[in-house]
Amino acid sequence: MAKDYNLFVPESKEILSNAGETVINRRQFLRYGFNAATGVLAASLGVLGFAAILLPPGGGSAGDLSVKFWAKGREDTAWYGAKHLQSMTKEDFVAEAANSNTGTSGASGVWNGVPVVVTYVEDSKWQGSPTDNNKARFQMMEGYDESGKYIGHFEDMVAMDERIYPSDDLIMVFGRCTHLCCIPGWQLVSNNYTDDSWTPGGTDDGGTKLFCICHSSRFDTTALEMNTNRNRSNGATFTYAGVRKAGGPAPVGLPLIPIELNNGVVEGITDYVDWLTYCD
Ligand code: FES
């Protein structure tokens, strides 16, 4: 039986309604959210595999490494609805974050043919300030795998490659849930962990979570950690840098795809294909 959620447009807190109703179920949500693209993406990626379609370092023939907004089905509701398939810029996120209590903004996107979510956090403005001021900042954290085994600290991975550190107050994560590979959307729902609020620790206590509509996994895109996951093709365990799972059935968090700015445009770095292989 479908579970009902009160879904809100993050930027306006307006309730999405269907035929005059204020509560919509998961089936109806699919009409509004980024998940509407799941069928198309899964059909193509299921044949090719994510790793196969990622461009090699340096880009493919087109050489376009920019990240594009993806607002299909949400053109009238998402703050980036009018920018569907346009390249993301830092200024887009800075402007939207000004409407948030927490100084954050997030958007679904597509990069190199794969779904991604980009989050802006006013980290450079609030890092070092008291954590009870409801202003989000990135948190470098220790990582534990799904069995509770200590894996390491996020900074350990930064020491190996400093490009993993958030670039210009922005991060990008692979947009497929580590539970069953659904494509979550940046959605706020009427639960306490999705208010426009922030608390430290990468837990469910604060809002502004990345929410997977499939089975309600939540991810804190400010909590950066080192963790492990498995390659579903060959079973090999790999270590990755990512954001922390805050709740729900997902075993671990979502991997980062390091980014850089090119004249203000968000571009992904293609060195981390192996991190995306938990979905085949
Ligand atoms: S696929 Fe995301 S919670 Fe199940």
Secondary structure (DSSP) of 45-102: HHHH-HHHHSPPTT--SS---B-EE--TT-TTTSTTGGGTTSBPBHHHHHHHHTTSSS
- Which one has a higher pLDDT value, 249 or 211? 249
Domains of the chain: total = 1
Q: What CATH number does residue 194 fall under?
A: 2.102.10.10
- Domain membership flag for residue 10: no
Pocket test for ligand 1, best of 213, 217, 218 (most atoms within 8 A of CB): 217
Tell the residue nearest (CA) to atom 4 of ligand 1.
215
Nearest to 253 by CA among 221, 279, 280: 221
- Among 40-44, 85-89, 105-109, the range scoring the smallest mean pLDDT is 40-44
- Among 20-24, 53-57, 175-179, 219-223, the range scoring the smallest mean pLDDT is 20-24
- Domain membership flag for residue 3: no
The pLDDT of residue 19 is above 50: no
- The rounded distance, in Å, linking the Cα atoms of 280 and 277 is 6
Q: What are the tens digits of pLDDT across the range 136-190?
A: 999 999 999 989 999 999 999 999 999 999 989 999 999 999 999 988 766 656 6
- Among 49-53, 149-153, 196-200, 222-226, the range scoring the smallest mean pLDDT is 49-53
Q: What is the pLDDT of residue 186?
A: 65
Pocket test for ligand 1, best of 38, 146, 180 (most atoms within 8 A of CB): 180
The pLDDT of residue 201 is above 70: yes
Query: Could you tell me the pLDDT band of residue 16, with boundaries at 50, 70 and 90?
Result: very low
Pocket test for ligand 1, best of 26, 215, 245, 278 (most atoms within 8 A of CB): 215
- Domain membership flag for residue 162: yes
Lining residues, ligand 1, CB within 6 Å: 177, 179-180, 182, 212, 214-215, 217, 248-250
Question: Distance from the CA of 39 to the center of ligand 1, in angstroms?
Answer: 15
The pLDDT of residue 279 is above 70: yes
Ligand 1 atom closest to residue 182's alpha carbon, by position in its atom list: 1
- Domain membership flag for residue 139: yes
Query: Could you tell me the pLDDT band of residue 9, with boundaries at 50, 70 and 90?
Result: very low
- Domain membership flag for residue 240: yes
Number of neighbours of residue 248 by Cβ within 10 angstroms: 17
Strands across the sheet containing 68-69: 68-69, 104-111, 114-121, 170-174
- Domain membership flag for residue 158: yes
Tell the residue nearest (CA) to atom 1 of ligand 1.
180
Tell the residue nearest (CA) to atom 3 of ligand 1.
215
Query: Could you tell me the pLDDT band of residue 28, with boundaries at 50, 70 and 90?
Result: very low
Average pLDDT score over the chain: 79
Q: What is the pLDDT of residue 280?
A: 74
- The rounded distance, in Å, linking the Cα atoms of 222 and 234 is 31
- Domain membership flag for residue 195: yes
- The rounded distance, in Å, linking the Cα atoms of 173 and 266 is 13
- Domain membership flag for residue 256: yes
The pLDDT of residue 260 is above 80: yes
Domain that includes residue 140, residue range? 15-276
